[in-house]
Structure formats: structure tokens, C-alpha cells
Amino acid sequence: MALNVVIMAAGKGTRMKSALPKVLHRLAGTSLLQHVLQASAALGAARTIVITGHGADAVEAAVAGSGARFVRQMPQRGTGHAVQQAVPALDDANGTTLILNGDVPLIRADTARALVQACSGEKLALLTIELADASGYGRIVRDGDAVQAIVEHKDASAAQRAIREVYTGIMAAPTASLKRWVMALTNENAQQEFYLTDIVAMAVADGAAVVAAAAGSETEVLGVNSPLQLADLERRFQRQQAEALMEAGVRLADPARIDVRGSLVCGSDVEIDVNCVFEGAVELGDGVRIGANCVVRDARIAAGAVIHPFSHIEGASVGAGSLVGPYARLRAGAVLGDQVHIGNFVEVKNSTLAHGAKANHLAYLGDATVGERVNFGAGSITANYDGANKHRTTIGNDVHVGSNCVLIAPITLGDGATIGGGSTLAKNAPAGQLTVARARQLSLTGWVRPKK
């Protein structure tokens, strides 16, 4: 029996007050719609159909690689009208169709799977939850235990508004019946919209079984309608991630002050101080310590390395036992070996630094290959760009570059070379020798300072 997943994403999201379509707003660095697609990908659906409308071009382009099909709903005349548009695209009349909302991002795959099982191609299964404040939601109206209907808030009587059990916007239905029910919907209601929720009363009238399954948590069924709700859900999601990290043994100085926008994989005895942001795929080895206010994106940091506060690391790898920061910047292609020291106001881009190399103060290493135990002095830089092309700097083992040097690439410094401070080198420096390239110092004996 084939499973179809329909994700409703055509609505305008007026309350976001944004030019960006609502489902493209990001939660933990990933669009709301992408979160829903990720949950749905785990279900092995035969077809995934995204209903687009408002901002359809942008929405479709944003998730083009997902394998989902798109069905457009123009204009948007309600959730029932949305599903009507998907009817021709639904596969296998004997199967089940799961309806998800593009603005309910944290739905768990397990919950969706359980709902599909509750439907099992025969029953209309509704995902519900009890809320302390149910206003705005469709209420689950029961007769005894049996579900009779969903009544939208705007159409509900005072007695119905007192019901706290609400429809989450997520349901699983037998595909053939769903097609029949949605095509029979009318828009005779307070909003003059075609309500998908009206199919519940139709199912009851048909004698079909209607079941309600309770969601595991409020967080997984909360929708995003406003910036406030988006921020609230972000905090809940970040809290969940922080708790999972701490359960795995990671020591967070404050679980309320970490943001993970992607995946963070940690070894044992990792410590993370406050206000750190992790983006993309980040791996931290055993015993790694991350100081306060660091931003780390797409990076691997090996065992025992210490990242001091206010460092920015992106597309880089840091070897075991290395020290980085405070105020260091590692950019794409920075590859630090073991025991490397990168100090304050040092920028490293597309460069490898071998075991024990140090650049401790105010330096730039771009497109450089740096040997073992090199000491790169304060204020020294590689001049890697000639205005048109980038060139490489190669620094051998045990080289000592003094302070305030400019190495004009392409250039090679041989093993054991020493470069005198203040040198601007445009030619290679031989191994083992002192190379100095600066004006000779002179003092004028008869010189008199001008008088006022």
C-alpha cells in the first residue's frame, strides 16, 4: 500500500510580515519546509507532494533537490482547497495519504509513522493535542469517546470553544476516501474557505472509522505564524538539542546559551562555554574546550584542542592539542596539524600548518604551506594576491619569520631560514640563513632638529 505525503505550503503567512514566504523562514538554520521534508523522508513515501502558492517560485526553488513534486494552489482558498489541487497527483487509491503542514516544522517521523499506522489505509486518523490555550485551533468534538467533527475556532460555539483537545493540522486518511471527501467540500463557513477539517464529519456520516492519536509533545505540533512563535520554537528546539548533548556527556556552561544549526558531534569530556554557535557539520574530539562567544561552522576540531573566546572557525580543521584564539579567524581550507598555536587577531585561509607551528599575534596566512615548528612573527603576512591571481607561499620546517614581514608570493622559505623583522621578501630565502630585506639603519651625526 503506497503512502503519499502532502505538505501544505501555499499559505501567505501574513503575520510574519515578511517578503520571504513563511515556510522558507529558518529554524536552527534550516527552512521550516525543509524540516518537514526531512521528517517525511524517513517515512519512505511513494510520493511527496508540496502544495505551493504564495511565493511558489521561491519555495519550489528552495527545496528543488528534495525529490518532492509540486502542485500549485492559486488562489489559496483554504486547506481543503489545497488538498483538492493535490488529488490528481495522489498515487494508489488503496494507500494512505498523510497530510503535513509546511509551517509545523518539528513533527517527528515516529509520530507521523504512528499516525499512518493508525490509519492503515482504512481509518481517518487525526493527530491531536490538549492545549491550555486552544484559541485559534480547530476543536475535536466528540460524542462520548467517538470523534464527531472538527469545528474551527471561528465557527465554534461557546461550549465548543471550551474544548481543549485540538487538531494539530496533521492527519492520515485512506487515499480513495480522501479524494472523495475533499471534492465534496463546500465553503459555507465563517471564513468562506474550503476547510479540510470538514472531512471529519463527512467520514462520520459515511460510517468510516475516525480515530484521534495524541501527539508526543506540544513542541512537535506547534505551528509558526509570527516571528514570536518562530523564536519560541527555536528556543524549544535549541533546548532539546542542548539536553541531548548534555545527556551524551557534553558539559555546557549554560544550556540556554548555545545554538546548534546543523549537526554537532562531540567526543567525551567536551566543554562548551556560553554563547557559542555551531553551524553545518561540526565535530569536536575528546576533551575539546570551546571558549565563550565562538562561531564554528563546518569544522573538525581534534582531541584536546582549546578554542579560546571570540574565535570564528569556518571550513577548517584543527589538530589535536592545538590552541586557537582568542579572537582568531580560521577560514575555508585552514588545516592545522597537532599542537599548532594560532593567537589573537590571526587569520588563516587555505593554508596548512604542520605540527607545532605557531602564529601567535596579528598575522595573515593565506594560500600557505607552513612546516613543522615554524614561528610566524607578529604582524607578518603572506601577500598572496597580486590583484589578479592568488599565489602560494611555502615555508619549510623550523623557519623563523620575524615581526612585520611581508612575504610576496609565490615564494619559498627553505628549512631553518630566519627572516629579519620588517623584511619585505619578493625572492626565495635559502635554508639555514638569515635573510633581511629592509633599509639599512643609519644615524646622522650633524643633524639639528628644526626650531619653531
Answer for which of 102, 337, 343, 414 binds ligand UD1 (CB under 6 A) is 102
Is residue 152 part of the contact set for ligand UD1 (CB under 6 A)? yes
Is residue 77 part of the contact set for ligand UD1 (CB under 6 A)? yes
Is residue 279 part of the contact set for ligand UD1 (CB under 6 A)? no
400 grid coordinates:
623563523
Cis peptide bond upstream of 21, omega within 30: no
Is residue 79 part of the contact set for ligand UD1 (CB under 6 A)? yes
Identify the active-site residue in 153, 355, 361, 400.
361
The option from ligand UD1, Mg ion, none interacting with 330 (CB < 5 to 8 A, set by class) reads: none
Residues in contact with Mg ion by CB under 5 A are 223
Nearer to ligand UD1, 234 or 367 (CB): 234
Task: Let me know if 361 is a catalytic residue.
Answer: yes
Query: Cell 529558518 appears where?
Result: 26
Phi and psi, residue 217, nearest 5°: -155, 160
398 grid coordinates:
623550523
Query: Cell 527545496 appears where?
Result: 63
Which residue spans within 36-143 are E strands per DSSP? Answer: 47-52, 69-72, 96-101, 124-130, 139-143
Is residue 128 part of the contact set for ligand UD1 (CB under 6 A)? no
Cβ at position 64, least distance to ligand UD1 in Å: 19
Query: Cell 500549485 appears where?
Result: 72
Q: Compute the distance between CA of residue 332 and CA of residue 313 in angstroms, rounded to an integer.
A: 8
Q: Are 354 and 397 in contact (CB under 8 A)?
A: yes
Query: Cell 471534492 appears where?
Result: 183
Answer for which of 166, 233, 270, 330 binds ligand UD1 (CB under 6 A) is 166
Nearer to ligand UD1, 78 or 396 (CB): 78
Is residue 55 part of the contact set for ligand UD1 (CB under 6 A)? no
Q: Compute the distance between CA of residue 358 and CA of residue 322 in angstroms, rounded to an integer.
A: 10
Helix (H/G/I), strand (E/B), else coil: 60:
helix
The option from ligand UD1, Mg ion, none interacting with 78 (CB < 5 to 8 A, set by class) reads: ligand UD1
CB atoms within 10 A of CB 325: 24
Piece in contact with ligand UD1 (CB under 6 A), picked from 8-16, 238-246, 388-396, 397-405:
8-16
The option from Mg ion, ligand UD1, none interacting with 11 (CB < 5 to 8 A, set by class) reads: ligand UD1
Is residue 288 part of the contact set for ligand UD1 (CB under 6 A)? no
Nearer to Mg ion, 168 or 394 (CB): 168
Q: Please report how the helices 175-183 and 79-86 are oriented relative to each other, as an axis angle in degrees rounded to 10.
A: 120
Q: Compute the distance between CA of residue 309 and CA of residue 326 in angstroms, rounded to an integer.
A: 5
Piece in contact with ligand UD1 (CB under 6 A), picked from 96-104, 116-124, 251-259, 351-359:
96-104
Answer for which of 84, 96, 197, 382 binds ligand UD1 (CB under 6 A) is 197
User: Which residue has the CB atom at the shortest distance from Mg ion?
Assistant: 223
* Number of chain residues interacting with ligand UD1 (CB under 6 A): 28
426, HSE (Cβ side, Cα atoms, 13 Å) = 2
Helix (H/G/I), strand (E/B), else coil: 262:
strand
Question: Residues with Cβ < 8 Å from 180, sequence gap 6 or more?
Answer: none
Cβ at position 31, least distance to ligand UD1 in Å: 13
Nearest one of 224, 234, 214, 218 to 111, comparing CA atoms: 214
Answer for which of 112, 147, 150, 203 binds ligand UD1 (CB under 6 A) is 150
Cβ at position 292, least distance to ligand UD1 in Å: 38
Binders of ligand UD1 among residues 318 to 377 (CB under 6 A) are none
Nearer to Mg ion, 167 or 278 (CB): 167
Is residue 196 part of the contact set for ligand UD1 (CB under 6 A)? yes
Cβ at position 33, least distance to ligand UD1 in Å: 9
Cβ at position 8, least distance to ligand UD1 in Å: 3
CA angle 390, 393, 394 (to 5 degrees): 145
Cα 171 versus chain centre, distance: 27
Q: Are 378 and 360 in contact (CB under 8 A)?
A: yes
Q: Are 410 and 428 in contact (CB under 8 A)?
A: no
Active site residues: 361
For binding to ligand UD1 (CB under 6 A), which residues are involved? 8-11, 51, 53, 73, 76-79, 81-82, 101-103, 137-138, 150, 152, 166-169, 195-197, 223
